[in-house]
Amino acid sequence: MTGVLNARWPRQLVDQPWGIVLTVLALGGFGGLVLYSAAGGSFAPWAGNHLLRLAVLSGLMLAVGLAPPALWFRLAFPFYGLALLALVLVETMGAISGGAQRWLDLGIIRFQPSELMKLALVLALARVYQFLPLAYVGRLQGLWLPLLLIALPVGLVMLQPDLDSALTYVAAGVTLMFLAGLPIWHFLVPGALLAASLPLLFQLLHDYQKARILIFLDPGSDPLGAGYHITQSKIAIGSGGLTGKGFLQGSQSHLAYLPEPHTDFIFATMAEEWGLLGGLAVIAGYGILFAWGWRVAFAAAGTFQRLVAGGLTMSLFYNVLINLMMVMGLAPVAGLPLPLMSYGGSSMLTVMPALGILIGIDRENRRRAGPPELAEGWTAAPRLANRPARPTGPDA
């Protein structure tokens, strides 16, 4: 038994941040419970598939967490290229659903490449800044490549059209550029120009996108039309009160008043039955993940690892924030699912490997800070010191 416990792989499995793993499983499992209720007390058609994906992709998350960060450094650009190619294929052979062409149907699986790009973009930008001396971060020579890496997927998803994913790419990209050392004043002038051009940009939006913004500004103007989604969502959340109506007792979802109760508006479905206390528990679960992600980023040894950890944490944060603000009427309706809880394979297929990469960086941090014997049998890339004045090669 001692020999088994001293073996490389069992010891690495034991050395997982199991508190975080349990938090992920708790959020995903609670999502399955809500989906079971949304279907009227049935595992079909949502809860069974959701829980199966959670089980399979949890294994993938743990497997990804065993890989050294150097592996993701080497795969960053190839993965970005594959994700970009998939977005191009969406334009040529993508499946249409809900009036938008956003899916690739491969027969055995149907997924949204826009979700995979959220992970690929962070990895690619982090690798760029690994080689870029700090003195060049704010210069044109250091700006054009990161801006190009952001602009390409933004342009492709806008053709689908998918404004929500485009804004997520921009937010994640800008955040990562800031974390890489770009001075804040570089964002002030573009931000002011963007604000001044909002009336013109509004005219370029599709009609349904304009309706979402107008309804956000005045939800009562069309409660049975364009404002129906947010009106019913607020009714569901408000009717839950402090402790909710009880499991399987949600009238808004069971009587089909609440649109998309299993995807975009799953938080409203949950809040109606579990109330304010259930909502706070869900938010606390995500808060634990965000706090852990930032702790991993601050403890990371090198530029690539710090930016990947910080970028993935903020990307997850933006998705959760936008979804929660949307269902509460604090932001226009957006087609962004709630990570880990909403029904949908593409979102979970991105979130779980991203969490696995964070676990891998966390394990490397603890291995570096712990006693030397913890490093036995663990092959990792050389640690990054402070960013060199001249590029010296990959040392994720």
Return the domain boundaries, the chain: 22-375
The model's pLDDT over 209-230, given as tens digits with 9 standing for 90+, comes to: 777 787 777 777 777 777 788 8
pLDDT at 382 over 50: no
pLDDT at 377 over 60: no
Q: What is the pLDDT of residue 185?
A: 80
The sign of the dihedral angle between the CA atoms of 317, 323, 326, 332 is: positive
Q: Average the pLDDT over each of 57-66, 195-204, 321-330, 372-381 and give the range with the smallest value.
A: 372-381
| Residue bearing tokens 């109760």 | 261
Listed residue (123, 125, 143) closest to 186, CA to CA: 143
Q: Is 370 helix (H, G, I), strand (E, B) or coil?
A: coil
Q: What is the pLDDT of residue 370?
A: 66
What is the distance, to the nearest Å, from the Cα of residue 154 to the centroid of all Cα atoms in its chain? 16
pLDDT at 371 over 70: no
Average pLDDT over residues 272-287: 96
Q: What is the pLDDT of residue 165?
A: 85
Helices (H), 132-223: 140-158, 163-179, 185-196, 198-204, 207-217
Q: What is the pLDDT of residue 128?
A: 93
Burial class (CB in 10 A: 0-12, 13-18, 19+), 292: buried
Containing 329, the helix (H) or strand (E) segment is none
What is the distance, to the nearest Å, from the Cα of residue 286 to the centroid of all Cα atoms in its chain? 12
CA distance 14 to 4: 12
Q: What is the pLDDT of residue 346?
A: 82
CA distance 157 to 336: 14
The sign of the dihedral angle between the CA atoms of 141, 145, 146, 147 is: positive
Q: What is the pTM of this model?
A: 0.86
Sequence-distant (6+) residues with CB within 8 A of 63 are 356
The model's pLDDT over 145-158, given as tens digits with 9 standing for 90+, comes to: 999 999 999 999 88
Average pLDDT over residues 281-293: 96
The model's pLDDT over 236-260, given as tens digits with 9 standing for 90+, comes to: 999 999 999 999 998 888 887 888 8
Percentage of residues in the chain having pLDDT higher than 70 = 86
CA distance 187 to 95: 37
In this prediction, residue 16 has a pLDDT band, given cuts at 50, 70 and 90, of confident
Higher pLDDT, 377 or 276: 276
Residue 183: count other Cβ atoms within 10 Å of its Cβ.
Answer: 10
Interior/surface letters 201-226, b for 16+ CB within 10 angstroms, e for the rest: eeeeeeeebebbebbbeebeeeeeeb
Q: Average the pLDDT over each of 30-44, 64-78, 92-106, 263-277 and give the range with the smallest value.
A: 92-106
Listed residue (121, 122, 129, 127) closest to 86, CA to CA: 121
The values of phi and psi at residue 197, to 5°, are: -95, 5
Average pLDDT over residues 80-101: 78
Listed residue (81, 117, 71) closest to 305, CA to CA: 71
Average pLDDT over residues 85-109: 72
Strand partners, 96: 101
In this prediction, residue 380 has a pLDDT band, given cuts at 50, 70 and 90, of very low
Q: What is the pLDDT of residue 306?
A: 94
Residue 163: count other Cβ atoms within 10 Å of its Cβ.
Answer: 19
Q: What is the pLDDT of residue 98?
A: 57
In this prediction, residue 354 has a pLDDT band, given cuts at 50, 70 and 90, of very high
pLDDT at 351 over 90: yes
Q: What is the pLDDT of residue 386?
A: 43
pLDDT at 332 over 80: yes
The model's pLDDT over 119-132, given as tens digits with 9 standing for 90+, comes to: 999 999 999 999 88
Average pLDDT over residues 163-191: 86
CA distance 200 to 378: 55
pLDDT at 335 over 60: yes
Q: What is the pLDDT of residue 372?
A: 47
Q: What is the pLDDT of residue 109?
A: 66
Q: What is the pLDDT of residue 229?
A: 81
Higher pLDDT, 200 or 97: 200
Higher pLDDT, 157 or 191: 157
Give me 200's structure tokens.
């013109």
pLDDT at 373 over 70: no
The alpha carbon torsion through 352, 314, 318, 205 (nearest 10 deg) reads: -110
Q: Give 387's DSSP letter.
A: P
- Edge-first strand order for the sheet with 100-105 is 95-97, 100-105, 110-111
Sequence-distant (6+) residues with CB within 8 A of 327 are 230, 233, 237, 264, 265, 267, 268
CA distance 124 to 81: 9
Containing 12, the helix (H) or strand (E) segment is helix 8-14
Provide the pairing of β-strand 100-105 with 95-97: antiparallel
Give me 99's structure tokens.
């009036």
Q: What is the pLDDT of residue 258?
A: 85
In this prediction, residue 13 has a pLDDT band, given cuts at 50, 70 and 90, of low
